[in-house]
Amino acid sequence: MRYIPLTAATYREHRARFRQHMEKGGLAIFHSNDIMPTSADGTMPFKQATDILYLTGIDQEETVLLLFPDAVDPKDREILFVRETNEHIAIWEGAKFTQAEARELSGIPTVLWTNAYDATIKRLAPQAEHLYLNSNEHLRQGNEVETREERKNKELRAMYPLHGVKRSAPIMHRIRSRKTQEEVAQIQRAIDITGKAFRRVCGFVKPGVKEYEIEAEITHEFIRNGSRGHAYTPIIGSGYNACVLHYITNDMVCNAGEVILMDFGCEYGGYASDLTRCIPVSGRFTERQRAVYNAVLRVQREAFKLLRPGVMMADYHKEVGRIMEGELINLGLLDKAEVAKQDPERPLYKKYFMHGTSHFLGLDVHDVGLWNEPIAEGMVFTVEPGIYIPAEKLGIRLENNILIGKDGNTDLFANIPIEAEEIEGMMASKAKKAVA
């Protein structure tokens, strides 16, 4: 394992949080992801289902978790199933978790091989009043491929049609939205590695470099620091490409006078980081670029102050939009009189700032959370305002990750440069070292 996992105590706490929301007689079942095929005998790299990773720490295929607080036998109240290994698997694929290793990492005393799952369900389901089945209820999900969890849910519904069915997803959204200290520390590790990659590319960028070369430098720094790679597909957009919100082809040349928008973040131990910085290809911003850059930075800093416990996300986003209006008027992009007459349902600022300011961050870069409940202490959000001016081939977005605190927020990116002068100074310093 190339990363340091959380402790068993934290995984025990996560499962205790889930159990607190279960009704009496409930049996909850969680499945790992499949290893997805490509073609011939190829497969994609395995990515664990984040809910089972959150509850157990087991980052391996064919893993199953049962939570049954009211089971007659105490040994059946938490059961973890892991794939049985053998000499053939060890030679061809590498070592898998032993039962003892899985027990130590997860903190679950009862660990069985996955081939015992079917018999165990048949034994325990008659004791249960209802089954808690998990599913992907993320606001943005749009899966066309059936997951292992969906496949197993169908089997359970067919086997036990008279059992009541409860949804695990609302519970997971609630408990995952507030991070433990160890989770915050893991996110911070991911952020620190991301900061190293940002500093690296500031010394690498110059006119004529390809966007994918910048991506390669970032990837190199991630992997050499114990990350398995990107938490999401990186955006490296120079010039006009910075105005394409989800630009990921990263195949153009970075030209003198342009600004590069870089939206990337490493994954560490399953946890994501999410950074956006904009740097001038030639090492210095023009007067206009600097004006737009500083406008975005001011909006971000005002947003930091607004993102507080008790605030509703919808109200927060509206207020950030109002602040952005003022900056766009000052930049000459909006007319004050027209803004005064605008349709409140179709604010004019959205022509230049068309996305949201913040989203939950955690095991997923767009993490699950409680969008219709007030912001609470322990949540982690991105703060990422932007201004996009296609006519000027200029897009600026700045993004930091923020931990919500009772008495004040913590900027987890505090050690990563963001001021325009800092960026220019860092690029100049690294350029001098490269020449020397």
Token pair recorded at residue 77: 């109240």
Query: In sequence order, what are the beta bridge partners of 99?
Result: none
For the question of residue 41 being annotated catalytic, the response is yes
Q: Which of 17, 149, 397, 424 is catalytic?
A: 397
For the question of residue 51 being annotated catalytic, the response is no
* Distance in angstroms (rounded) separating the CA atoms of residues 14 and 182: 11
Q: Which of 41, 87, 343, 345 is catalytic?
A: 41
For the question of residue 263 being annotated catalytic, the response is yes
Q: Which of 11, 359, 367, 424 is catalytic?
A: 359
For the question of residue 274 being annotated catalytic, the response is yes
Q: Which of 34, 62, 274, 367 is catalytic?
A: 274
End-to-end CA distance of the chain: 39
Q: How far is CA 43 from CA 35, 36, 83, in A?
A: 7, 6, 18
Q: Which of 288, 355, 419, 421 is catalytic?
A: 355
For the question of residue 220 being annotated catalytic, the response is no
Q: Which of 246, 287, 345, 346 is catalytic?
A: 246
Length of the chain: 436
For the question of residue 399 being annotated catalytic, the response is yes
Backbone angles phi, psi at 264, to 5 degrees: -155, 165
Q: Which of 34, 51, 258, 263 is catalytic?
A: 263
Q: Which of 54, 271, 352, 388 is catalytic?
A: 388
Q: Are 408 and 393 in contact, with CB atoms under 8 Å apart?
A: no
Nearest residue to 267 via CA among 434, 32, 50, 107: 50
* Inter-axis angle of helices 211-224 and 181-202, nearest 10: 140
Q: Which of 366, 377, 392, 411 is catalytic?
A: 366
For the question of residue 54 being annotated catalytic, the response is no
Catalytic residues, which ones? 41, 246, 263, 274, 355, 359, 366, 384, 388, 397, 399
